[in-house]
A and B are shown apart, each in its own frame.
Chain A
Amino acid sequence: MLSVPLYADSTMPAAQLANVQLPDPAQEAKAKALMETLRCLVCQGQSIADSNADLAGDMRSLVRQRIAAGESPEAIRAFLIARYGDWVSFAPPIDRTTWLLWAAPVLFLVAGGALVAGRLRRRR
């Protein structure tokens, strides 16, 4: 029932909650925040929150249904990652391949700061 076809058939009517909000504003806000961080798999760089593609609509519907059923956003993200891989999430995990990505901002800041501090100290 909650499964997502990989390529939705465009002749079928759009999934139930693809283009309609959840009645509960708090739940909808949660769903919306999650949708903004999930990649539309058939688009170029768009999130499912801002895509016209049918697949994005199906995924929006899935997110809203699961949020309405009380599931946590991170559980839904984990479900989608298990299904489609890390690629579906715009929030990269922290693991063996991505630790450098997450460490980079700190490294840049420390290296740059040290460089500046060294220069300024030498000047005095």
Chain B
Amino acid sequence: MIAEAGLAALWLGAALCALQLVAAVLSLSARVERSRDTFDTAPGGTSLDFARDERGLSGLIRPVAVAQAVLTALAFACLIAVFITVDLSVKLVVENDGVGRPLMYRFSGTWGNHEGSMLMWVSILAVGGAAVALIERRLEERTLIATLGGQAVIGLGFYAFLLFASNPFARLDPAAPAGQGLNPLLEDPGLAFHPPTLYIGYVGLSIAFSFAIGALVTRDVRPAFARAMRPWVLGAWIFLTIGITAGSYWAYYELGWGGWWFWDPVENASLMPWLAATALLHSVTVLATRDGLRAWTVMLAVVAFSMSMIGTFLVRSGILTSVHAFAVDPRRGSFLLALLILYIGGALALFALRVGTVREGSRFDVVSREGALVINNLLLSVILGIVLIGTLYPLVVEAFGDKISVGPPYFNATAGPLALLLLIVMAAGPMMRWRREQLGIIARRLIVPALVLIVALVAVKALHPAIGLWPLLGLAVAAGVGLASLAPLWGRNLRRTPLHTWGMVIAHFGIAVALAGMASDSAFTQERLVAARVGETMAIGPYRVTLANIAPDFGPGWTALNATLAVKRGAGAAYELHPLARTYWTQGTQTSETAIQTVLDGQLYTVLGASAGEGRWQVRLWWKPFVTLIWAGGALVAIGGVLSLLGRLLRERRNELRKAEVWA
């Protein structure tokens, strides 16, 4: 019953989405007619008819967008309900859920699969559209209507995908006796937070995409448009930042080998929208503040959401497992691919048609804040291009019958140096004035950070002669850039510094912090892989770790070996860590539950592997100095984004109030 209600709500949502599109198209064309009428001095009657018609339809758009979101969210709630109640007559539940699983995993298992996650995607898309309809007041009415129309176009395609190619509510007759359970790797609190945040970010970029479409349709690419778009981009970017940071930490502790980024296609799929959104965030600021980079900003808005869709396609079409698997069962993949080509192609075609009407923005010198932001955009775009081609190239080669792998050696060698360069631009950019800056002044401002960079370089090399070139450069650049990123606060009254300046400073500082963590991890990590007997003591970093005991353990759906590791640092008190080696009954899958001790200067990362025979156990230990800075940096970047968003919104609110006072 609940499943049918969900499916019905989804169909109704799709129908309202179609209505939203029709209303947008009609009211926009009515407006074009009317503006012609006023020039042609047509008989009053017709003109009035059009006016009435248009008010009716454009008045319809906002409530329809909201109703669509309510219905689709309802459909998603129904899916959550059948998962929580473990309705074994629903196919998706049988494949991904089970009686007796903890409530949290029955809940988050709703989106731990293909159909459920696509329904979540569409729900977020609909809710995003409703948010624009409810909140957005700055955008010119025509552009807003076009934007909601654009949102409806995207929505329709994905509703069709759900309803025709991946119905989450499909029944199973007769019902299954038991569920197969969730993939054990997904049975983790991370699943409850990571996909929703990432999806809000992905799909949030659809709003920027629709804004760009709207502005192209109505030829309204102006600073006011950019100021309206900026908070939406910033919001999506914050969620992407949190999603990627959290996902990296999740992979780090879940996979049990101490790695935190693998340049895996699925990771790249989330990194690409982030890179595009970061570029967009900076170019939209140029457009909002200085009325420059008009066409480029619109282009980036199209590219950013295109990257979200490409990511969704890569992850959801099955093409990553194998191009051939994709070719054997191509229904879903081809559907997504068709949507991808339709939307990206359509948007680019519209861009090509209208770009001529986008007037050139205002001018600026090469050495200026705008100039630095242009270089920022160039480098981010090139890095994005590298990640994109590195991710897609193996697929193309495989389609021609060859098989290659593109992994860390390629991405580190090509994107790494550009990223370091980008960070240096990031340090210098905020020190520059808009429009024109003197090179000498900037050079003088950069002297202290440059000295810090060089001192760090020499000092680290002296203390650790064996350090590799890239980690060394990474640490040095992190030190110099970290200091330079604080420069915009230098000599200012900190209480009167605007919130969005704080946001920028904290986000830039966070990037330097994350870089320090990455470099420190790759330079100073120590590894100890041992086949240990109970009672044996191992030395790792500043720690002495004793395998005190191995005992059986169990939990919902799994049995495990539970190791007791007695850990002692220097003369400090001993404490215990408990890494587990789990085996899940239903699938027979084995996972390692790491035990991690976080201290100020790093993490002790411990894993219990299988038996090594002869009464020995595989124990894996890592001492990772300052590795936590990676995610702390990511968190700072997100916090900076939040402050910036708050600052912009509060300032706008203040300005409105002030304006109201003046008029009163």
Contacts and interface: CB of A to CB of B under 8 A. Distances in A.
Contact of A92 (B265, B405, B610, B618): B405
A105 B414 contact: yes
A123 B364 contact: yes
A12 to B, nearest CB: 10
Given A46-B262, A88-B405, A109-B382, 6 more contacts: A13-B613, A20-B529, A87-B405, A91-B407, A108-B382, A112-B381
Contacts of B530: 20
A101 B402 CA distance: 14
A88 B394 CA distance: 12
A101 B393 contact: yes
Interface in A13-27: 13-14, 19-21
Contacts of A49: 257, 259
B661 to A, nearest CB: 40
Nearest to B531: A20
Contacts of A116: 374-375, 378
B359 interface: no
Contacts of A21: 527-529
B256 A89 contact: no
Interface of A: 13-14, 19-21, 32, 36-37, 39, 44-47, 49-52, 85-93, 97-98, 100-102, 104-105, 108-109, 112-113, 116, 120, 123-124
Contact of B406 (A85, A90, A112): A90
Interface string B357-390: 0000001111000010011001001100110011
22 contacts: A13-B612, A13-B613, A21-B527, A37-B408, A45-B266, A47-B407, A50-B255, A89-B405, A90-B407, A90-B410, A92-B406, A92-B410, A97-B402, A100-B393, A101-B389, A105-B382, A105-B386, A108-B381, A112-B381, A113-B378, A116-B375, A123-B364
B211 to A, nearest CB: 23
Interface of B: 255-259, 262, 264-266, 320-321, 363-366, 371, 374-375, 378, 381-382, 385-386, 389-390, 393, 397, 400, 402-410, 414-415, 418, 527-531, 590, 592, 609-610, 612-613, 618, 620
Contacts of B257: 49-51
B408 to A, nearest CB: 6
A97 B408 contact: no
A78 B590 CA distance: 32
A72 to B, nearest CB: 16
A49 B400 CA distance: 29
Contact of A97 (B386, B397, B405, B613): B397
